[in-house]
């Protein structure tokens, strides 16, 4: 049986706080020796105890929770039936394959506040015990890490070193590239070798890593398709991936603002899935507000959620169908209404 982390932690706390030491002081030496022997036996039977306290690249800290991811996508992610299905299939398939041919590469696209970072977080939480706090999950934000176009060459080699170093440290590493649309279009090309079908590069295998790109690029064409469906009286759930996929990869590839501009990642088919995020409607914003209240341990209040949702700006102006900022400003709006 695997020792539960809580048990080991409890023992550790007892030892380090001195409770045990104090407790055995008045007792006879025989008992003290007995306790020491029990402890020694305990530690001997759990030689990997160290791994329970310090995050390591091991199954104790990295193991895929398939049902957890599905439940999170079903219950926590609103209005994204296409994204939910792709993410579930892509991550399940990849994580249950012991010998993937290449790393998993996902590219998430959509308007602001539609759930791109949120989805990355759900994936991380169902793979890494420490979720986004894991030292094996790396987030690169273009404006933060690569702010100056003039230092492009420097960034290129830094980025390669970062990725190589981190994957050498743990093959099950996850890299999230945020704000891809603000990244120098040439920069992403430098990571192409890591995403490709290589057994290994200079002795390092990248095939178990996960790369997630996030961007607003293509968001307008997704929104336009969603609006066309709405105007045609079709339900949102009727929108299929094939209605968006080609449009999306083309608009991303040909958009010189996208960070993917003419990149070989796309024409060499190294992106496994383009994941479109639909613009959110009023009812989804209400769901976000209700979920946020629950997360704050406040009783979800429909009236407050409605007030928050009504406060947002919707597009097109006349029909007010899609929230321009998705669920993005809900948190601060709730502060005001609660």
Binding site for Mg ion (CB under 5 A): 116-117
CB of 36 to Mg ion, least distance (A): 53
Query: Which CB, 118 or 230, lies closer to ligand ATP?
Result: 118
112 binds, among Mg ion, ligand ATP, none (CB under 5 to 8 A by kind): ligand ATP
Residue 24-63 contact track with ligand ATP, rule CB under 6 A, x = bound:
----------------------------------------
Nearest C-alpha neighbor of 58 from the set 170, 204, 205: 170
CB atoms within 10 A of CB 160: 14
Q: Does the footprint of ligand ATP cover residue 326 (CB under 6 A)?
A: yes
Q: Which is nearer to ligand ATP, 216 or 221 (CB)?
A: 216
The C-alpha atoms of residue 263 and residue 265 are separated, in whole angstroms, by: 5
Applying CB under 6 A, the span of 21-29, 112-120, 244-252, 268-276 interacting with ligand ATP comes to 112-120
88 binds ligand ATP (CB under 6 A): no
Q: Is 113 in the site for ligand ATP (CB under 6 A)?
A: yes
Nearest approach in angstroms of CB 143 to Mg ion is: 12
77 touches which of Mg ion, ligand ATP, none (CB within 5 to 8 A by kind)? ligand ATP
CA distances from 19 to 15, 38, 204, 232 (A): 7, 16, 46, 71
Interaction between residue 123 and ligand ATP (CB under 6 A): no
DSSP category for residue 113: T
Question: Among ligand ATP, Mg ion, none, what does residue 276 contact (CB within 5–8 Å per kind)?
Answer: none
DSSP state of 233: T
Residues of this chain, 188-217, that bind ligand ATP according to CB under 6 A: 214, 216
Among 24-32, 67-75, 114-122, 300-308, which window interacts with ligand ATP (CB under 6 A)? 114-122
Q: Which of 61, 84, 104, 114 binds ligand ATP (CB under 6 A)?
A: 114
Triad 164, 168, 171: Cα angle to 5°: 105
Q: How far is CA 270 from CA 10, 20, 211, in A?
A: 46, 57, 11
Q: What DSSP assignment string belongs to 44-84?
A: HH-TTHHHHHS--SSTTTB---HHHHHHHHHHH--S-HHHH
By CB under 6 A, residue 279 contacts ligand ATP: no
Distance of CA 80 to the CA centre of its chain: 15
Residues from 299 through 318 that contact ligand ATP (CB under 6 A):
none
288 binds ligand ATP (CB under 6 A): yes
Would you call 225 helix, strand, or coil by DSSP?
Answer: helix
Residue from 109, 207, 208, 328 touching ligand ATP (CB under 6 A): that is 328
Q: Which two tokens stand for residue 31?
A: 């008992």
Q: Which two tokens stand for residue 43?
A: 């530690």
| CA-to-CA dists, residue 245 to 59, 82, 93, 185, 229, angstroms | 35, 11, 20, 21, 16
Residues that bind ligand ATP (CB under 6 A): 76-80, 110, 112-118, 214, 216, 288, 326-328
């Amino acid at each position: 049986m695997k020792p539960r982390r809580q048990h080991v932690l409890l023992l550790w706390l007892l030892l380090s706080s001195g409770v045990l030491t104090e407790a055995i002081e008045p007792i006879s030496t025989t008992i003290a020796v007995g306790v020491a022997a029990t402890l020694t036996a305990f530690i001997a039977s759990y030689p990997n105890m160290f791994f329970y306290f310090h995050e390591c690249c091991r199954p104790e800290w990295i193991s895929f929770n398939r049902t957890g991811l599905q439940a999170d996508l079903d219950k926590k992610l609103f209005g994204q039936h296409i994204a939910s299905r792709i993410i579930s299939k892509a991550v399940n398939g990849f994580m249950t394959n012991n010998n993937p041919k290449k790393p998993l590469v996902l590219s998430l696209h959509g308007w602001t506040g539609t759930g791109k970072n949120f989805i990355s977080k759900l994936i991380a939480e169902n793979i890494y015990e420490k979720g986004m706090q894991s030292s094996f999950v790396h987030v690169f934000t273009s404006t933060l890490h690569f702010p100056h176009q003039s230092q492009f060459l420097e960034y290129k080699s830094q980025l390669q070193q970062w990725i190589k170093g981190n994957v050498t440290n743990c093959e099950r590493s996850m890299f999230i590239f945020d704000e891809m649309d603000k990244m120098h279009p040439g920069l992403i090309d430098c990571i192409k070798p890591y995403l490709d079908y290589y057994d290994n590069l200079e002795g390092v295998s990248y095939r178990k890593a996960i790369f997630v790109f996030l961007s607003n690029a293509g968001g307008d064409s997704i929104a336009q398709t969603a609006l066309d469906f709405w105007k045609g009286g079709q339900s949102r759930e009727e929108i299929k991936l094939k209605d968006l996929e080609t449009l999306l990869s083309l608009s991303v590839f040909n958009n010189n603002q996208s960070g993917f501009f003419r990149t070989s990642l796309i024409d060499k088919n190294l992106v496994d899935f383009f994941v479109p995020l639909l613009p959110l409607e009023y009812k989804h914003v209400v769901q976000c507000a209700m979920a946020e209240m629950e997360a704050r341990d406040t009783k979800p209040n429909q009236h407050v959620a409605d007030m928050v949702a009504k406060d947002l700006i919707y597009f097109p102006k006349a029909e007010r169908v899609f929230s321009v900022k998705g669920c993005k400003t809900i948190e601060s709006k709730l502060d005001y209404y609660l």
